[in-house]
Chain A
Amino acid sequence: MNASSLFTFDAVAAILAIPVVAATLLALMPGYKVTARVNVAASLLTLVAALCLFVTERPEPGRYLLVDDLNIVFIVLNTFVGFTTSLFSASYIAHELETGRLTPANLRFYHAMYQIMMFGMNLAFVSNNIGLMWVAVELATLTTVLMVGIYRTHEALEAAWKYFILGSVGIAFALFGTILVYLAAQPVVGEGYDAMVWTLLVERVADFDPALLNVAFIFLLLGYGTKVGLAPLHAWLPDAHAEGPTPISAVLSGLLLNVALYAVLRFKILLAASPEAISPGPLMMTMGLASLIFAAFMLYRRRDIKRMFAYSSIEHMGIIVFAFGLGGPLANFAGLLHMVMHSLTKSAIFFAVGHISQIKGTQRLSAIRGLTETHPVLGWGLVIGVAAIAGLPPMGVFMSEFLLVSSTFARQPLLAVPLVFGLLVAFGALLLRLTGVAFGQPRGSRKPADASYLPMYSHLVLVLIAGIYLPPPLVAWFQHIANLLR
């Protein structure tokens, strides 16, 4: 592919260019009301451009960019949650400015970073070059590090520092893995750019040296797995979620973890296509189950509401990685569906939590009680969200968990035991906390919420619809991807 074909296709160029232009504008513009609107508008435009990917003709996979069935799902999900979060962020930020936790200068920085992060994530999804993908994931991470530390409190700095150090180690491992993949590909595909182009790698992977690929995958899984928040490498995740601004917690959980997961999946497909390399499944299943069970128990001891939902994210990423590790059409389908449902539900929960902690002025669980009485709209939104994330029917999460559990019983009955155990433990913890927060004796401030309910409820409605009725074209689409993932 030459440079000109990169520009003839507008949808891909648009989802990359709009955030960059917006970031530049936002960095220059004063006034938070205008910038918040520009942020929303830019996110909406990116979403529209992403939706265009469905209708316009797809470009040939090039040296740098690629659009296929797998990444369209990720891109559309990413830009959709990016848009709703920017709506939520506008009302959240207004309150932060009032209380003086953020200054107008902070906000300018915050909005510009938000768009650069969107750019990094979109770039990671469309890149066909494993080197470019690495750069994009790294860019998205660095911007979130800066945003986590934006409050400059003791805790925020600790969280950002921890995130930065652990993230860098992950980045380093991922790059080393990428170099090893290149080395494995180089004798077969030839020196230079071609040996980093993912589509070419997949075609020729059968001839690669399997031992080198195995080592490469272990580094890649550890490296990108740090970003996914898998169990032994998750330490940064709860802090980063708890101490940063809530819109950032929402995109961290809903989107950034998916970006890293996407990278793992790309390499999983690569390894699965090589007959002699180790199968990536058992490694992924082990890490997934470990994350699930560990996080499920950690849920019980949390005192901070954002930290609790951060652990819940680790739990769900564990489930998703387990599902993709198990493989096969049904489990992959469940994993994909679960990923979409988790992104929507978890960001909706963080939208609710953001407003709640602003009203109460604290994130301590013990200080938040009886929300359904004092703030019915927010409270019930949270109840629905937590019920959904805990896996209660008729929400979409129940559907995907059910599919996964039944597929596990059919194929690896022994593994279904720890899976169901972890799900139940987490379920108990979430409901235990929910009863106090939603239905206890009201405590703390009762002042009315100045919130935007639209982002939260639009997500929850989507999750509910997915639980009741999945449109056949969507099912066919997901099944197709599930087969692609092997």
Chain B
Amino acid sequence: MQGPVYFDIAHMLAGGLVLVSMMMLYQDRLYALLNVFALHSLLLTLSVAWQAFIQGAPHLYVTAAIALVFKVVVIPVALHHMIRKLGIHREIETVVGIGLTMLAGIGLVALSIVVMLRVTPEADPLTREDLAFALSVLLLGLLIMVTRRNAVSQVVGFMSLENGLVLAATGAKGMPLVVEISVAFSILIAFIVIGVFLFRIRERFDTVDVGALDDVRGRRRK
């Protein structure tokens, strides 16, 4: 199925994902960040489901369902809970100012569009645009991770980065199921790992600020 409407809807959803990634850049409260992340994952779910529909690939619905259950519901709820338990709903410190971060974000989106559109002139237009957007989401996720010091928001950045990967994997037509399941699995594993870490970090220091961890180096002088 390859009508202009199908294309437009896929385009809109993937573009929406980039937009929401940009929104995540300037959230300075943890709860708000989590809500925007849930929205991000919801858009991803829709986008994946739409790809499943236009590619006639039923296994992609599974990926969409996994994204819906884990990333829209379970993880944000769990992190909400964790934040409340840790008592860290205060402001996020951003390392770089919001204006500069946004500019960097715009630059990254431009970069990924230039790179991906140039190297895929012969690919199907839907795949091309999907890939360009996916790379933007990936790089924006990286930017979120770099500009935050708080462990929870780094985790959220990482998960939005993974959302970009799922978008890329579903955009590639006929990509085997193995990979999709592995993506979902890796997120799950990553979450468990992170959960363990957060638990331990809190257990030790009552703070989830990675910056506090960095201070160790000053004392110890490696």
Report A's interface with B, CB cutoff 8 A. 129, 131-132, 134-135, 138, 142, 145-146, 149, 152, 154-155, 157-158, 160-161, 164-165, 168-169, 171-172, 175-176, 178-180, 182-183, 186-187, 191-193, 195-196, 209, 211-212, 214-215, 238, 242, 302-304, 307
Which one of B119, B151, B162, B175 lies within 8 Å of A179 (CB-CB)? B175
Q: A131-B178, A131-B182, A171-B186 are in contact. Are A304 and B145 (CB under 8 A)?
A: no
Which one of B119, B154, B210, B220 lies within 8 Å of A211 (CB-CB)? B119
Inter-chain contact A186/B186, CB cutoff 8 Å: no
Measured CB to CB, the closest approach of chain B to A363, in angstroms, equals: 11
Closest 5 A-B residue pairs measured CB to CB? Answer: A191-B174, A211-B119, A158-B213, A131-B179, A135-B182
Q: Known contacts A155-B220, A215-B115; can you find 5 more A-B pairs with CB under 8 A?
A: A145-B193, A157-B213, A160-B197, A175-B165, A192-B174
Which one of A134, A135, A152, A238 lies within 8 Å of B200 (CB-CB)? A152
Which one of B151, B172, B183, B222 lies within 8 Å of A183 (CB-CB)? B172
B111 within 8 A of A: no
Inter-chain contact A131/B176, CB cutoff 8 Å: yes
Q: Which residues of A contact B138 (CB under 8 A)?
A: 172, 176
Measured CB to CB, the closest approach of chain B to A217, in angstroms, equals: 11
| Stretch from B9-17, B46-54, B94-102, B120-128 contacting the other chain | B120-128
Inter-chain contact A182/B172, CB cutoff 8 Å: yes
Inter-chain contact A172/B165, CB cutoff 8 Å: yes
Which of B161, B175, B183, B216 counts the most A-chain CB atoms under 10 A from its CB?
B175
Inter-chain contact A165/B145, CB cutoff 8 Å: yes
Using an 8 Å CB-CB cutoff, how does the interface string of B175-189 with A read, 1 for contact, 0 for none? 110110011011001
Inter-chain contact A176/B182, CB cutoff 8 Å: no
- Per the 8 Å Cβ criterion, residues 158-215 of B in contact with A are 158, 161-162, 165, 168-169, 172-176, 178-179, 182-183, 185-186, 189-190, 193-194, 196-197, 200-201, 203-205, 210, 213-214
Q: Which residues of B contact A164 (CB under 8 A)?
A: 193-194, 197
How far is A195 from B176 in the complex, measured between Cα atoms in Å? 9
Measured CB to CB, the closest approach of chain A to B6, in angstroms, equals: 19
Measured CB to CB, the closest approach of chain A to B59, in angstroms, equals: 11
Measured CB to CB, the closest approach of chain B to A190, in angstroms, equals: 8
Inter-chain contact B200/A149, CB cutoff 8 Å: yes
Q: Which residues of A contact B193 (CB under 8 A)?
A: 142, 145-146, 164
Which one of A154, A158, A165, A214 lies within 8 Å of B158 (CB-CB)? A165
How far is A189 from B142 in the complex, measured between Cα atoms in Å? 32
Which of B119, B145, B182, B210 counts the most A-chain CB atoms under 10 A from its CB?
B119
Can you name 9 A-B residue pairings with CB atoms under 8 Å?
Answer: A132-B178, A154-B204, A158-B214, A168-B158, A186-B172, A191-B173, A209-B122, A212-B119, A303-B221
Using an 8 Å CB-CB cutoff, how does the interface string of B26-51 with A read, 1 for contact, 0 for none? 00000000000000000000000000
Which one of A134, A165, A193, A304 lies within 8 Å of B176 (CB-CB)? A193
Inter-chain contact A215/B119, CB cutoff 8 Å: yes
Inter-chain contact B182/A211, CB cutoff 8 Å: no
Q: A157-B200, A179-B168, A191-B174 are in contact. Are A169 and B210 (CB under 8 A)?
A: no
How far is A134 from B162 in the complex, measured between Cα atoms in Å? 14
Q: Which residues of A contact B220 (CB under 8 A)?
A: 155
Inter-chain contact A169/B145, CB cutoff 8 Å: yes
- Looking across the interface, which residue of chain B has its beta carbon closest to that of A168? B158
B109 within 8 A of A: no
Measured CB to CB, the closest approach of chain B to A405, in angstroms, equals: 31
- Looking across the interface, which residue of chain B has its beta carbon closest to that of A158? B213
Q: Which residues of B contact A152 (CB under 8 A)?
A: 200, 203-204
How far is A142 from B185 in the complex, measured between Cα atoms in Å? 12
Measured CB to CB, the closest approach of chain A to B2, in angstroms, equals: 15
B72 within 8 A of A: no
Which one of B118, B213, B221 lies within 8 Å of A161 (CB-CB)? B213
Q: Which residues of B contact A214 (CB under 8 A)?
A: 119
Q: Which residues of A contact B60 (CB under 8 A)?
A: none
Which one of B120, B135, B196 lies within 8 Å of A212 (CB-CB)? B120
Which one of B165, B197, B214 lies within 8 Å of A149 (CB-CB)? B197
How far is A180 from B175 in the complex, measured between Cα atoms in Å? 11
Which one of B119, B162, B189 lies within 8 Å of A172 (CB-CB)? B162
Which of A152, A176, A211 counts the most B-chain CB atoms under 10 A from its CB?
A176
Measured CB to CB, the closest approach of chain A to B168, in angstroms, equals: 5
B131 within 8 A of A: yes
Q: Which residues of B contact A212 (CB under 8 A)?
A: 119-120, 123
How far is A196 from B222 in the complex, measured between Cα atoms in Å? 43
Measured CB to CB, the closest approach of chain A to B155, in angstroms, equals: 9
Inter-chain contact A154/B174, CB cutoff 8 Å: no
Measured CB to CB, the closest approach of chain A to B220, in angstroms, equals: 7
- Looking across the interface, which residue of chain A has its beta carbon closest to that of B174? A191
Q: Which residues of B contact A307 (CB under 8 A)?
A: 222
Measured CB to CB, the closest approach of chain B to A69, in angstroms, equals: 26
Which one of B135, B158, B175, B190 lies within 8 Å of A176 (CB-CB)? B135
- Looking across the interface, which residue of chain A has its beta carbon closest to that of B205? A154
- Looking across the interface, which residue of chain A has its beta carbon closest to that of B135? A176
Inter-chain contact A183/B127, CB cutoff 8 Å: yes
How far is A303 from B220 in the complex, measured between Cα atoms in Å? 10
Inter-chain contact A146/B196, CB cutoff 8 Å: yes
Inter-chain contact A183/B213, CB cutoff 8 Å: no
Q: Which residues of B contact A157 (CB under 8 A)?
A: 197, 200-201, 204, 213
How far is A229 from B200 in the complex, measured between Cα atoms in Å? 26
How far is A145 from B181 in the complex, measured between Cα atoms in Å? 22
Inter-chain contact A172/B204, CB cutoff 8 Å: no
Measured CB to CB, the closest approach of chain B to A220, in angstroms, equals: 14
Measured CB to CB, the closest approach of chain A to B209, in angstroms, equals: 11
Q: Which residues of B contact A132 (CB under 8 A)?
A: 178
How far is A155 from B217 in the complex, measured between Cα atoms in Å? 9
How far is A172 from B176 in the complex, measured between Cα atoms in Å? 18
How far is A369 from B161 in the complex, measured between Cα atoms in Å? 48
- Looking across the interface, which residue of chain B has its beta carbon closest to that of A171? B186
Q: Which residues of A contact B116 (CB under 8 A)?
A: 215
Q: Which residues of A contact B189 (CB under 8 A)?
A: 142
Measured CB to CB, the closest approach of chain A to B17, in angstroms, equals: 15
Q: Which residues of B contact A187 (CB under 8 A)?
A: 122-123
How far is A178 from B179 in the complex, measured between Cα atoms in Å? 10
How far is A154 from B200 in the complex, measured between Cα atoms in Å? 10
How far is A420 from B174 in the complex, measured between Cα atoms in Å? 49
Measured CB to CB, the closest approach of chain A to B26, in angstroms, equals: 21
- Looking across the interface, which residue of chain B has its beta carbon closest to that of A302? B222
